[in-house]
Structure 1
Amino acid sequence: MMPRTLLCLALSGASAPLLADTVWLKNGDRLTGTIRVFDGGKLMLETDYGGNIALDWKKVATLESDQQLLVKQDDITGERAKGLKPAEPGKVTLTNGEAPKTVELASIEQIMKPKPLVEDFSWKGNIDVGLDYKRAEKDTDDYDVDLKTKARHGRWRHTAEAEYNREKQDSEVTTDNWSTDYALDRFLDEHWFWQGRVGYQRDKIEDLERQRTIGTGPGYQFWDDELGAFSLAGLVNRTDYEYSNGEKDNFYQLTVKWDYNRYLVGKTVELFTSGEVGKPLGGVADYSLDAEAGLRYKVTDWASLNVKAEKDIVSGAEGNLDETRYSVGFGVGW
């Protein structure tokens, strides 16, 4: 029994490298792992001996992979290859059954895993925390916590967001608010979806104390792949305002929401922005804006540093709101 077990272990160990992707460098070195993405002149190779390794594309001689990969030679078109086979230095062969194609490495702009309409469960998200303690003529404590997560199963996508902001100068609280938002998308095809959303905001300092929103409308997913995603949605919302003096307003408004993120420099830097701008269908307010933009730098696979700017505006309402926040902090992602 023992010899048979040892034989199975030996065979599985011998076959494991065959399943790994292989990258040959111009200096003669050979690295094995899993090709994650190529972008911005960096090829990300995930290894079990060194984590994610960013390889300079100019140093790569050729490569091999049994993965199905999308190889793009310009910003628009790409070829879905069933695998990659090594070729002469400076080239690689895209395998597609009976029609293999050999291309120059220098002509390739991106390599990524193709992402068709999802038919299984996927979950990703980020928690970003910003802390600022200042001890000077005025003591300042500033806290900023953001949570954003998405779950996808088949044609359904769930997006949940929560945020908390608090700032205190000396003994006086100058900012104290929190918000939550939930959106449910039903994809009609690979790009078009229909969204329903609910949101709530609470502010203990500003005149505009509470905002409640419920809305629905169509959206379009321009792309969603290894390097990021971009979507727009146009919604008709019902919004309720409550002010600190006890007065209330409710109205309908047209809203455009956006959600964009893009990885740069071999997925080590992420540019992101999201938010919405709305125009009320009445005289309650001129317009509203709730937006954020920033950068994340990945320190590890799950930890990152971030810098971010946020803007909240409600213009023309009884309780005008105009807040701008800047934060630097750390976060975790999955």
Structure 2
Amino acid sequence: MFSRTLFCAALTALSLPSFADTVWLKNGDRLTGKISVMDGGKLLLETEYGGSIPLKWSSIATLESDQKLLVKQDQVSGEVVQSLQAADDGKVTLANGAAPRTVQLASISQIIHPKPLIQDFEWKGNVDVAMDYKRAETDTDDYDVSFHTKARHGLWRHNGTGSYNREYRDGVTVTDNWDAEYALDRFLDENWFWQGRVSYKRDQIEDVRRQRTIGTGPGYQFWDNELGAFSLASLINRSDYEYADGSKDEFFLAAVKWDYNRYLVGKTFELFSSGEIGKPLEGVADYELDAEIGLRYKVTDWASLNMKAERDIVSGAESETDETRYSIGFGVGW
């Protein structure tokens, strides 16, 4: 009987989750789950019984966790702790192998998961869809689909983007274009990387019908963690333009690419922007710009509402392009 009891107890212990973080609230409630992130005055707790639960940081009395976490008490530096231990109300103890240190909860600005330089495999991305139908004096059908994905294995990172836009007005096509890009990053250390990229744009309506670009150059990853990422790349590109009248331009240009996203209010909102601005090394055009900026609101762990603005400019070329698009739609992310 005694051995059976021990056996059942052992099975129960093995069945418990690996990480059982606990949060005590000032009203006396206690919640268990897994701490995801704390930022913007919100702690995001992942639970089996309620999904992702955002908690006001000011409503928390104390908390504990067995996870390795990066705790920031300012906007610059942080401390990687092996665990968090419960303390008196309004405090938490940071355990980092040395003597534990108790700090005020109010002094903590962020809690995130530390991200190692080399990961076996990581894949994330999103697909956004926007559609607009208007039936009035002028009937309008507008479709906008885009995707953005990244996959990292070791020191290599694969980046893929693409979009498709089509608009009809009274049955006449007034916008019809698509584009795709692939970029490969090879990290030299934690921040510096070398990028090679190739992109293609096709437009059935505008004067610039085709754009082909291949380029390479160094880049710098300012940060990449649970709260977002920001990187810049400086490239030398070879671009080929083909116009509606059949003429062509081929030239080199220096360009700067950026890729930015930032989660806000416990990862409820995501601010994002990506794009490229380039200056031809020859007198073919003044400059070219392809950029987007937007905001996503997470409805569930995987679904979001989004709104964004896109700008595509080719200035000073034989045939200029100047397009601005605004869209509101639905997206999925992983």
Q: What TM-score, normalized by structure 1, do the two folds share?
A: 0.97
Q: CA deviation at 1:203?
A: 0.2
Cα 1:173/1:9, change in 2 over 3 Å: farther
Aligned residue identity for 2:235: L
Task: Show structure 1 runs of 4+ deviating over 6 A.
Answer: none
Task: Tell me how far 1:121 sits from its aligned partner.
Answer: 0.2
Partner of 2:176: 176
In the alignment, what sits opposite 1:131? Answer: 131
CA positional deviation for 1:81: 0.5
Matching residue of 1:140: 140
Q: Which letter maps to 1:11?
A: A
1:36-94, Cα deviation, whole Å (9 max, x unpaired): 00001110000000000001111101110110000001100101111100111100011
For 1:81, the equivalent position in structure 2 comes to 81
What's the counterpart of residue 11 of structure 1? 10
State the match for 1:186 in structure 2.
186
Q: Which residue of 2 aligns with 1:217?
A: 217
Measure how far apart 1:7 and its partner are: 6.4
User: In the alignment, residue 287 of structure 1 is paired with which amino acid?
Assistant: Y
Task: Classify 1:307/1:122 alpha carbon distance in 2 versus 1 (closer, same or farther; 3 Å).
Answer: same
How many residue pairs match? The answer is 331
* Aligned CA distance change for structure 1 residues 8 and 45 (closer, same or farther; 3 Å): farther
Match for residue 70 of structure 2?
70
Q: Is the 8 A contact 1:17 1:32 kept in 2?
A: no
Deviates more, 1:135-144 or 1:15-24: 15-24
| Aligned-residue offset at 1:319 | 1.5
Aligned to 1:52: 52
Alignment correspondent of 2:286: 286
Structure 2 residue 67 is the aligned partner of structure 1 residue 40: no
Q: Is the 8 A contact 2:178 2:202 kept in 1?
A: yes
How many Å separate the matches in 2 of 1:257 and 1:12? 53
Inter-partner Cα distance in structure 1 for 2:6 and 2:50: 28
Verify the 8 A CA contact 1:80 1:114 in the aligned structure 2: yes
Residue 8 to residue 293, structure 1, CA distance change in 2 (3 Å): farther
For 1:13 and 1:138, the matched residues in 2 are separated by 67
- Using the alignment, how far apart are the partners of 2:125 and 2:7 within structure 1? 39
Query: Which AA in structure 2 matches 1:309?
Result: A
Amino acid corresponding to residue 170 of structure 1 in structure 2: D
Greater Cα offset, 257-266 or 115-124: 115-124
SS in 1 for 2:10: helix
Q: Which amino acid aligns with 2:280?
A: P
Q: Greater CA deviation, 175-184 or 98-107?
A: 98-107
Paired residue type of 1:41: G
Q: Distance in 1 between matches of 2:86 and 2:62?
A: 5
* Residues 1:157 and 2:157 aligned together: yes
Q: Is the 8 A contact 2:165 2:176 kept in 1?
A: yes
Q: Distance in 2 between matches of 1:176 and 1:12?
A: 61
TM-aligned CA deviation for residue 8 of structure 1: 5.3
Q: Report how far residue 98 of structure 1 moved.
A: 2.3
In 2, Cα distance between equivalents of 1:245 and 1:98? 72
Q: Which runs of 5+ in 2 are unaligned?
A: none
1:173-229 deviations in Å (ceiling 9; x for gaps): 110000000000000000000000000000000111000000000000000000000
Please, which moves more after superposition, 65-74 or 11-20? 11-20
Deviations 1:123-170 (A, max 9, x none): 000000000001111000000000110000010000001100001111
Q: Percent identity?
A: 71
Question: Residue 328 in 1 paired to residue 328 in 2?
Answer: yes
* Letter aligned with residue 234 of structure 1: S
SS at match of 1:240: strand
Whole-Å Cα distance in 1 between the matches of residues 8 and 239 of structure 2?
63
Pair 11,150 (structure 1): closer, same or farther in 2 beyond 3 Å? same
Aligned Cα root-mean-square deviation (Å): 1.4
Q: Distance in 2 between matches of 1:17 and 1:190?
A: 32
